[in-house]
Structure 1
Amino acid sequence: MLKTVLMVIHVLVSLFLIAVILLQKGKSAGISGVIEGGAETFFGKNKARTMEGTLEKLTTIAAALFIILSMVLTVMMAK
């Protein structure tokens, strides 16, 4: 019973992780990306309050939860 519940949670977390990653804005490439990135770090003091900052935090949390659930399920399946 516990394995089934954890598997369902694992699938939901993985779908959430995929959705959050797909919602994120892509990084710019080339010389313009270097200039833009430098300006963003200088002027982007409130980045955590933006949608990008929120998505990055959600991605980190979901990825950590995904890894922990994967390890727990692996140990449970071995028994």
Structure 2
Amino acid sequence: MYNTLLLAILVISVLLIIVITMQPTKTNSASSALTGGAEQLFGKQKARGFEAVLQRVTVVLGIGFFVLALALAYLTANGMK
């Protein structure tokens, strides 16, 4: 069980790296780097198409990574390798 979860967390982490690097950058100018991109945070820009799919996949993989990390920590703490 431990080895299966460890393999799953490794696969999810590699997929998460790939999905994050595929996402387009949001910065358009040097001013957005200085202000922290606040104009995009409060703007009404919704992701569409491929960008929206990448954002959803990133969230799902992130949640999966977190859950598997907690499960591995629980198994390790209880000595159930």
Tell me the TM-score normalized by structure 1. 0.76
Runs of at least 5 residues in structure 1 that lack an aligned partner in the other structure: none
Deviation at 1:27, TM superposition (A): 1.1
1: distance between equivalents of 2:26 and 2:74? 37
Q: Secondary structure at the match of 2:24?
A: coil
1:72 aligns with 2:71: yes
2:10 corresponds in structure 1 to 11
Runs of at least 5 residues in structure 2 that lack an aligned partner in the other structure: none
1:55 corresponds in structure 2 to 54
Matches within 5 A, 1:37-56: 38=43, 41=45, 44=46, 47-48=47-48, 50-56=49-55
Deviation at 1:76, TM superposition (A): 0.3
Q: CA RMSD in A?
A: 2.2
Of all paired residues, the percent bearing the same amino acid is: 24
More helix by share: 1
The CA deviation string for residues 4-62 of structure 1, in whole angstroms up to 9 with x for no partner, is 0010001000000000000000111436x748x94x72xx5xx34x1100000000000
2: distance between equivalents of 1:77 and 1:15? 22
Deviation at 1:78, TM superposition (A): 0.7
> How many aligned residue pairs are there?
70
1:26 corresponds in structure 2 to 25
Tell me the TM-score normalized by structure 2. 0.74
